[in-house]
Chain A
Amino acid sequence: MRSTRRTRWGLAIAGWAVALGMFFPILWMFICSFKTEITAVATPPAVFFHPTLENYYAVLERADYLAFARNSIAVSLGSTLLALALAIPAAYSMAFFPTRRTRDILLWMLSTKMLPAVGVLVPIYLLWRDLGLLDTVFGLILIDSLSVLPIVVWMLFSYFREVPAVILEASRMDGATQTEELMHVLLPLCTPGISATALLSIILCWNEAFWSLNLATVKAATLTAFTASFANPEALFWAKLSAASTLAIAPILIFGWISQRQMVRGLSFGAVK
């Protein structure tokens, strides 16, 4: 047997090195948010400095952070729920009643997602305008759920396939109808997987910038628009951008960290026995 203690230390060093290396850019940005603009671009990079909250004040003063955050939350949650509502029945059908066309449909659904958003901007913009959906939270929910739907379907499909058919058969033998089978047997079994998919969808919608910038202006603008307004100004902006970005990612980062245990449980393939 090899020396466990030595390998443990070696692993610890490697593990922490990797973790800190990956996290470092975010940490650096967080640190820069407390510097003055001049200090933020100093060479050599300033590690010791007088921290200041002026950037946060400036950022919060300039824009209504809470309004943006509120919209981000509404859009992320709304899109995820809508996507799940549509995807669950579809994934159920494809997982348990596959046809020859199932694989084709899946692939086709994924491929429509690969249409770069820029290419379809004008058609969607015109459509949304004519439907009165511009600058509405609902309009954003629609487009975001559309964007995230193929992934949600794909992931749910993968999870549902893990469920042994015998369990469903058993419930059917017990006289359950299709809906009951779906709601009371399948969903509880797959809840970890569904939660994981939901969390992923929330993160993707939270960071969705393109549609938020183009389809929303005042009432429905999300945190991505908030960040964008600091991203390319005609002023030294790195310290302020760091502050704005920290404010923008803090909620989702904290949320992700809290719920990542759920995700971990849910993303275990082959764990359903």
Chain B
Amino acid sequence: MTATVAAKPPRNLHTRSLLAPSVAALLLWMIVPLVMTLWFSAERYNLLSPGKTVFAGWGNYRDLLTHRALWVAMGNTLILVGLVLAITLVFGTLFSLLLDQDFPGHQVCRLLVIAPFFVMPTVSALIWKNMLMNPVFGLLAWITRSLGFGAIEFFSRMPLLSIVVIVGWEWTPFAVLILLPALQSLNPEQVEAARLDGAGPIALFRHIQLPHLLRPMAVVAMIEMIFLLSLFAEIYVTTNGGPGLASTNLAYLIFRDALLGFDVGRASAGGVIAIVLANIVGLFLMRLVGRNLEDLR
């Protein structure tokens, strides 16, 4: 564990000019879609009624915030993100610990475990929906029927959880991809020393491995959060947000407005609300995790 102290060399023009273009491009790139979204969110703009666009001020926001569906969707979004984060971090750590051990073929196992991350989300969802979870000819149904349980109707009985399972399967490999190397970069002398002191595997984990993993876990959490908050493909392909609103998250709700209703104004307002939500969750996560990161002054 190196102590990194950020030095403050004299800031000269050279530094600024080096950074300016890229930072400017970054800002420009991020701002333009954002500004357009903000602009559209203040209009009643429906693609199917072009030429009837009027300024609406807070109208779209009012519509959305008084719509029951928005609050259900936000709740579902948070549940989805929370559960998937928990699953991927827990199983990611467990799998990493397992794959860190030296058993025959552990390198091949590593390859197999990270494979799901490379598959397109739409395809993953279709595989799970049709080949595995389908209650009539899915593999899981066949297994449970052979065991005498009858088929589980995954998407009817537990739609959100089914999606959590699918997404967890997709993203746990990502966690392993980041956590396993981190684990393997642990100073072997430290581990040896602890072992010699009589530390069992659990103590080893608690006092040596886990603290070392906290930083990469933070990276995993932040990156996953970015993707999970706007999760869409898996829901679209499996449940279409149903039954009722049980598996509708914010992204799917915006999709309904944008690509079914072609209501650009309301979809943009939904997007802005999504950013606000993301910022809140992000701040919360940062605070939770920030204790373990070095202070960013």
A interface, CB within 8 angstroms of B: 8-9, 11-12, 14-16, 18-20, 22-23, 25-26, 28-29, 32, 41-45, 85-90, 92-93, 95-100, 102-103, 106-124, 127, 146, 149-151, 153-155, 158, 161-165, 168-169, 172, 177-179, 182, 203, 206-207, 209-210, 224, 227-228, 231, 238, 241, 245, 248-249, 252-253, 256-257, 260, 263-273
Q: Are B230 and A115 in contact (CB under 8 A)?
A: yes
Can you name 27 A-B residue pairings with CB atoms under 8 Å? A23-B113, A86-B22, A86-B25, A97-B11, A97-B15, A98-B6, A102-B297, A115-B33, A115-B274, A117-B232, A118-B255, A119-B267, A119-B272, A146-B30, A155-B219, A161-B6, A162-B4, A178-B15, A182-B18, A209-B120, A231-B123, A245-B120, A245-B127, A249-B120, A260-B177, A263-B177, A273-B2
Q: Does B229 have its Cβ within 8 Å of any Cβ on chain A?
A: yes
CB of A133, distance to nearest CB on chain B (Å): 13
- The stretch of B82-90, B131-139, B152-160, B202-210 that contacts the partner chain: B131-139
Question: A60 to B114, alpha carbons, bound, how many Å?
Answer: 28
Q: Are A270 and B1 in contact (CB under 8 A)?
A: yes
A contact residues around B230 at 8 Å (CB): 114-117
Question: A270 to B293, alpha carbons, bound, how many Å?
Answer: 13
Q: Are B105 and A267 in contact (CB under 8 A)?
A: no
Query: Which residue of chain A has the shortest Cβ distance to B37 in the bound complex?
Result: A120
Q: Does B279 have its Cβ within 8 Å of any Cβ on chain A?
A: yes
A contact residues around B18 at 8 Å (CB): 89, 92-93, 178-179, 182
Q: Which of A18, A153, A256, A264 contacts B26 (CB 8 A)?
A: A153
Question: Scoring B residues 1 to 29 as 1 if CB is less than 8 Å from chain A, else 0, what string do you get?
Answer: 11111111101101100110111011001
A contact residues around B116 at 8 Å (CB): 22-23, 25-26
Q: Which of B15, B33, B181, B219 contacts A154 (CB 8 A)?
A: B219
Q: Are B106 and A89 in contact (CB under 8 A)?
A: no
- Given A118-B259, A122-B267, A127-B36, do A238 and B6 touch, yes or no (CB 8 Å)? no
Q: Are B212 and A270 in contact (CB under 8 A)?
A: yes
Q: Are A109 and B109 in contact (CB under 8 A)?
A: no
Q: Are A146 and B282 in contact (CB under 8 A)?
A: no
CB of B76, distance to nearest CB on chain A (Å): 14
Q: Are A272 and B22 in contact (CB under 8 A)?
A: no
Question: A257 to B282, alpha carbons, bound, how many Å?
Answer: 32
Question: A155 to B101, alpha carbons, bound, how many Å?
Answer: 27
Q: Are A90 and B26 in contact (CB under 8 A)?
A: yes
Question: A248 to B118, alpha carbons, bound, how many Å?
Answer: 10
A contact residues around B48 at 8 Å (CB): none
CB of A64, distance to nearest CB on chain B (Å): 19
Beyond A12-B105, A26-B116, 20 extra complex contacts between A and B, CB < 8 Å:
A11-B101, A18-B113, A22-B169, A44-B142, A92-B19, A93-B18, A96-B7, A97-B11, A115-B230, A120-B33, A122-B264, A149-B29, A161-B4, A162-B2, A227-B123, A231-B123, A245-B126, A256-B114, A260-B110, A267-B181
Q: Are A12 and B103 in contact (CB under 8 A)?
A: yes
Question: A270 to B106, alpha carbons, bound, how many Å?
Answer: 23
| Number of B interface residues in the complex (CB < 8 A) | 110
- Given A22-B172, A110-B282, do A15 and B106 touch, yes or no (CB 8 Å)? yes
Question: A96 to B116, alpha carbons, bound, how many Å?
Answer: 36
Question: A227 to B126, alpha carbons, bound, how many Å?
Answer: 11
Q: Are B26 and A109 in contact (CB under 8 A)?
A: yes
Query: Which residue of chain A has the shortest Cβ distance to B186 in the bound complex?
Result: A270
Q: Does B286 have its Cβ within 8 Å of any Cβ on chain A?
A: yes
CB of A175, distance to nearest CB on chain B (Å): 13
Q: Are B2 and A146 in contact (CB under 8 A)?
A: no
Q: Are A271 and B185 in contact (CB under 8 A)?
A: yes
Q: Does B61 have its Cβ within 8 Å of any Cβ on chain A?
A: no
Q: Are B271 and A116 in contact (CB under 8 A)?
A: yes
Question: Scoring B residues 263 to 274 as 1 if CB is less than 8 Å from chain A, else 0, what string do you get?
Answer: 010011011101
A contact residues around B177 at 8 Å (CB): 260, 263, 267
Q: Are A122 and B40 in contact (CB under 8 A)?
A: yes
Question: A126 to B267, alpha carbons, bound, how many Å?
Answer: 15
Q: Are A165 and B15 in contact (CB under 8 A)?
A: no
B contact residues around A14 at 8 Å (CB): 98
Q: Are B23 and A93 in contact (CB under 8 A)?
A: yes
Enumerate B170-196 residues with CB–CB distance to A below 8 Å.
172-173, 177-178, 180-182, 184-185
